Structure 1
């Protein structure tokens, strides 16, 4: 019999919930408490209160109208109360027999027929009352509260809760020294009856502060350790040179860089000139000009005799980058006998073979593509710089695979002038890594989950971008929106109409987009209305995008495949259908497809309320934020408030420990203290630092290193 089979159902449930170590059980905290320490007289109980009463059963019968139910009446001498059970067992009916004295705990409600409790928790009266509040833990159907409570008590007793934060460092957190980790956990599992529930629920109690501080410290230690490990690796030294490719590209660009683009370009160039791998996140709002910054970084790598790879999550985005990079770099590379390669999954075998050969020989200085770039058969002569766009869409494994494509690492990929020599290194060289994101990361998130990254921010838009007016419109006004589209097309403008992806069914997505396409084609005679969705063959997608980009198609109905990377300056109106189904950062990305030219642009968020005619609270907050601001950083801040960190981390979080106790919005002070403390602890108390990370993160810290 296997170990898994030998375990009972509750034991299996514990393992599935990640509660396999004693410390995991000790750190599994209640989400609420029940007060079973006192008995309230019925005359003193107020409607809506959850109370425990003690009384004698005076009536017990099964009623059949309006539905079958067990009705029990108890009296405590100060008043009577009816207990109703809509599902019950014979044993329960017997335990509540007339004459029995019982404890009943539940919410008191007044009504036409007097006071009542529905499905209260009942047990025989007598015996001592608990001395502490009763914990209620997050659990699953296979794991009863009673079993989990016992497991937590024994885990708490067995766990090694010796102090890992050195005493000299604790005052820097501003914590009360009276609360050790052991005391904080013992208290939070079984707080005394006089503890204010508000301080437990809002996590402001000193015991909670102790736990949040330790959790944030573990995260900061893990991130700092991985950053230091990476700083021990070696990368090619890539320097700019007078009159080199970098200067030539700057001179050839048909526009001047913004001050922000110049600043981040210099930060990246300084990183590339160091012998340790760059690990930098380039963030900037939609349309801020990240691609040209990436092109200048690629020019430095290529001029130094190394190759560069740019990987994007979708073919449309990859092709957008490819077109721009070919336009800027090919004229400069051709005289050197170098080229820009293109790699995607849908390529013909012959074309793909030619690209692979060009990469392996070093003739291709730069490759642009999708996940195809990291496939096993792709071999570089010497990869010096890897660029990942929309990095949160890629998993840890995919980013590691691209970093592992370093090639021979000799520094002589191209024997042209200016090839920099690679430093002496005991092992293969790591490529520099530049990650790009149009979803700006709020500062507190950058300080915590991206603490191991250097962050560069393009915080201004290029001149000529027009502000986009955002309107929130109910689906009942759909006809007015179609009229607005007709007016835009009559003025020679173009329009996007985006339909949501319905995760459960690609067929539904298709039907939704196809029906909208047919509706708009019928409503707009004489206008070419195109359709673009994820299941179309690549060649067909390409043809549709070419018609729209060339101005020959007036309206493009699409699923979110156009979310990033589509640049049509003549498009002035974006309609997002079922806008309530989209995340805030995704709505902002979609809105960024318009306002790219001189024409006044607008984004219509078409929403459909639920069956009750009302929008959910989260959806309302998102749409309100979109209407109120066009600033990507403000959008990101509100998205963090609404949805929490997961949205920003994307695939990086697969297994990464999202904070369980600390809250990035309200615990900034503790986060800053943890950041300051982590390097001191790693330098002065390395063994305790290691124990601390193991206690809080176990093996999960590996996920934070990519």
Structure 2
């Protein structure tokens, strides 16, 4: 059924776009990536309209979307505030309705001329002057004009792409699309239809198909598409893993440095740390490059595991690079690693964007010559100017903040020797099981699921901004008792200057209330030595209160800090709130995190604050975060978002993911050509994103 298309009011001007219509929609389809028949076949409807039956106007109620037939009793153009086409209809029962068009073509007036019988579909509205419809769809009919045999699809479409044009293009493409079965018998879960049959049904579902199953994507036809997509992803991950197994890496085996480091540490490793350190050491001793994700909750002790991995590498005569997303975090790692490794004779270099001049040149020379055995820094470490003599291990902290290209650059540092370094990625944001099974299926995952002894529990309290003065009173009490406090300033917008302004204003206010000598300020615009000076004073308990932006999100470790206040907590993401909260509770004293929010809260904002109040378990936080945000935002830049999955939903489709994960190894082993064709059909060039 043709739709009333918005046009300029002038009939003379309306005729020109119609003549140029074919090229316009074609360009619009190209912008949507709808070029090949398979692209069109996989462009699925957003929803459906039921044009398979007629209703009688006397049975319809305002608010209903209905389709009926009636005769035009009057058609006229009126000029009120603007030109309108008003069409009065009367059905066979004598019921009347007014059609209103604010934009119309001359063809509208011709089709809707007095005496014509038309079939109309749209939302029925009530009003003081009777029932009406605004911009319904319509077409002229004869008494015996058949109804649609299937539900009418409504597709995602951009500007300049009419639904009627898109429907015809998809209908023509479906028979030509290569939708033959690629998968061997027994691979597809029982009860799911063949691929072509599934797509045909989704584009043209008969009226007997429950619309709820179509809308909620639970119909077996939808399940078939989701399984195919998840299987392609699993196959691609396994192919990437197999490809990396063909690459060569240096075999790194320690000769005693690890034992010396363990003996020098002022604490004993947890059982989880021992287990994970052994897993990493085993990988480093292989000739294939390690590609391992080390995940653990805030405070689980990932840095010492990284130090042990670095010790294995250095002891074998190779260099190690550790890269962190922020200078503050990199500096925290540097301080710990220097304290642990330099007394054992390890030379550590510090390379960030803020290190300039001759000092930088000297550090670069040390890295290039191999004299610097461990290089710590920010993304500056992967710049072309930073060369290594024998890079054997690259450690990336908070790996979700680094893009594919950055990790590839690290791995290329050893390419000229025909080798690539081992890669250890660390994350304090635990990966939910469904993500680990899908987007991280190509990685070996080690999990620190045990916190070191002596950590205090953190109580989280949520207050409206009306309690702000009471919170400041509590801060004064904590400071007087010798405790230390963080005050995290709100995210204003995607602007460092705005965040800095908020921190500066808050610092001035709290300094005025509590005394300037008791309040420090830390933000991203400070120079490296200024940041270090502020953190040194806070760590030494010379500053009881630290006002900061989110630069303290990760890495800061001050056991005497027992209270954190996060202002406008509703503006922060759930993972970020959990990371910030992890800055307290690092000692034996009871700790509190106060979340101050300003209403009204959005639904997702309310869910985030509720999750923070209910649990301190990073894995549960991650699960809820995935449910709130979806995999695209959760994963950050690992593979340019989660657009690799168009149809499957990791929350709802876990059983299909399990089935795909079970089938993929055998399919790749026993039917490699079918596996490759399946990956190409579903992922095409996007499969390359999974190889980083």
Rounded Cα–Cα distance in structure 1 between residues aligned with 2:88 and 2:594: 58
How far off is 1:655 after superposition?
6.7
How far off is 1:13 after superposition?
3.1
Asked if structure 1 preserves the Cα contact closer than 8 Å seen for 2:69 and 2:118, the reply is yes
2:539 is matched with 549
> Residue 502 of structure 2: SS of its match in structure 1?
helix
1:120–1:240 distance in 2 versus 1, CA, 3 Å: same
1:668 is matched with 654
1:103 is matched with 119
> Residue 280 of structure 2: SS of its match in structure 1?
helix
Give matches, 1:444-459, under 5 Å.
444-459=434-449
Rounded Cα–Cα distance in structure 1 between residues aligned with 2:48 and 2:308: 58
1:135–1:591 distance in 2 versus 1, CA, 3 Å: same
More moved, 209-218 vs 639-648: 639-648
Asked if structure 1 preserves the Cα contact closer than 8 Å seen for 2:398 and 2:425, the reply is yes
How far off is 1:407 after superposition?
7.0
> Residue 398 of structure 1: SS of its match in structure 2?
helix
Instruction: Please state if 1:570 is matched with 2:553.
Output: no
Rounded Cα–Cα distance in structure 1 between residues aligned with 2:22 and 2:543: 63
Give matches, 1:148-167, under 5 Å.
148-167=166-185
Asked if structure 2 preserves the Cα contact closer than 8 Å seen for 1:81 and 1:117, the reply is no
Instruction: Please state if 1:206 is matched with 2:192.
Output: no
> Residue 360 of structure 2: SS of its match in structure 1?
helix
2:289 is matched with 277
1:526–1:233 distance in 2 versus 1, CA, 3 Å: closer
How far off is 1:392 after superposition?
0.6
Asked if structure 2 preserves the Cα contact closer than 8 Å seen for 1:646 and 1:658, the reply is no
Question: CA-to-partner distance for each residue in 1:429-488, whole Å, 9 max, x for gaps?
Answer: 221111000000011110110000000000111112111111221123322222222222
1:61–1:502 distance in 2 versus 1, CA, 3 Å: farther
Instruction: Please state if 1:233 is matched with 2:251.
Output: no
More moved, 74-83 vs 186-195: 74-83
Asked if structure 2 preserves the Cα contact closer than 8 Å seen for 1:655 and 1:700, the reply is no
1:218–1:408 distance in 2 versus 1, CA, 3 Å: closer
Asked if structure 2 preserves the Cα contact closer than 8 Å seen for 1:343 and 1:370, the reply is yes
Q: Which of the residues 551, 560, 564 maps onto 1:561?
A: 551
How far off is 1:69 after superposition?
6.2
How far off is 1:626 after superposition?
1.0
2:604 is matched with 618
Give matches, 1:33-112, under 5 Å.
33-58=48-73, 72-78=87-93, 80=95, 82-83=97-98, 85=100, 87-89=102-104, 91=106, 92=108, 95-110=111-126
How far off is 1:100 after superposition?
3.7
Question: CA-to-partner distance for each residue in 1:616-652, whole Å, 9 max, x for gaps?
Answer: 1111111111111110000111111111111332111
Instruction: Please state if 1:330 is matched with 2:342.
Output: yes
1:650 is matched with 636
Instruction: Please state if 1:465 is matched with 2:455.
Output: yes
How far off is 1:319 after superposition?
0.3
Asked if structure 1 preserves the Cα contact closer than 8 Å seen for 2:644 and 2:686, the reply is no
Rounded Cα–Cα distance in structure 2 between residues aligned with 1:565 and 1:636: 19
Q: Which of the residues 210, 215, 236 maps onto 2:229?
A: 215
1:224–1:407 distance in 2 versus 1, CA, 3 Å: closer
Rounded Cα–Cα distance in structure 2 between residues aligned with 1:64 and 1:495: 68
> CA RMSD, aligned part only?
2.4
1:700 is matched with 686
Q: Which of the residues 342, 355, 376 maps onto 2:350?
A: 342
Instruction: Please state if 1:28 is matched with 2:55.
Output: no
Question: Scaled by the length of structure 2, what TM-score is found?
Answer: 0.92
Asked if structure 1 preserves the Cα contact closer than 8 Å seen for 2:123 and 2:136, the reply is yes
How far off is 1:361 after superposition?
1.9
Asked if structure 2 preserves the Cα contact closer than 8 Å seen for 1:280 and 1:433, the reply is yes
More moved, 253-262 vs 651-660: 651-660
Rounded Cα–Cα distance in structure 2 between residues aligned with 1:54 and 1:625: 53
How far off is 1:90 after superposition?
6.3
More moved, 471-480 vs 371-380: 471-480
How far off is 1:313 after superposition?
0.4
> Residue 342 of structure 1: SS of its match in structure 2?
strand
Instruction: Please state if 1:144 is matched with 2:144.
Output: no
Rounded Cα–Cα distance in structure 2 between residues aligned with 1:582 and 1:65: 49
How far off is 1:322 after superposition?
0.4
Asked if structure 1 preserves the Cα contact closer than 8 Å seen for 2:85 and 2:104, the reply is no
How far off is 1:661 after superposition?
1.2
Asked if structure 2 preserves the Cα contact closer than 8 Å seen for 1:26 and 1:152, the reply is yes
How far off is 1:511 after superposition?
2.8
Asked if structure 1 preserves the Cα contact closer than 8 Å seen for 2:604 and 2:628, the reply is yes
How far off is 1:33 after superposition?
0.6
1:691–1:114 distance in 2 versus 1, CA, 3 Å: same
Instruction: Please state if 1:245 is matched with 2:245.
Output: no
1:677–1:61 distance in 2 versus 1, CA, 3 Å: same
Asked if structure 1 preserves the Cα contact closer than 8 Å seen for 2:289 and 2:420, the reply is yes
- Unaligned runs of 5+ residues in structure 1 are 1-5, 410-427
> Residue 652 of structure 1: SS of its match in structure 2?
coil
Rounded Cα–Cα distance in structure 1 between residues aligned with 2:96 and 2:551: 60
Rounded Cα–Cα distance in structure 2 between residues aligned with 1:23 and 1:615: 43
2:187 is matched with 169
1:418 is matched with none
How far off is 1:114 after superposition?
4.5
> Residue 151 of structure 1: SS of its match in structure 2?
helix
Q: Which of the residues 114, 127, 134 maps onto 2:152?
A: 134
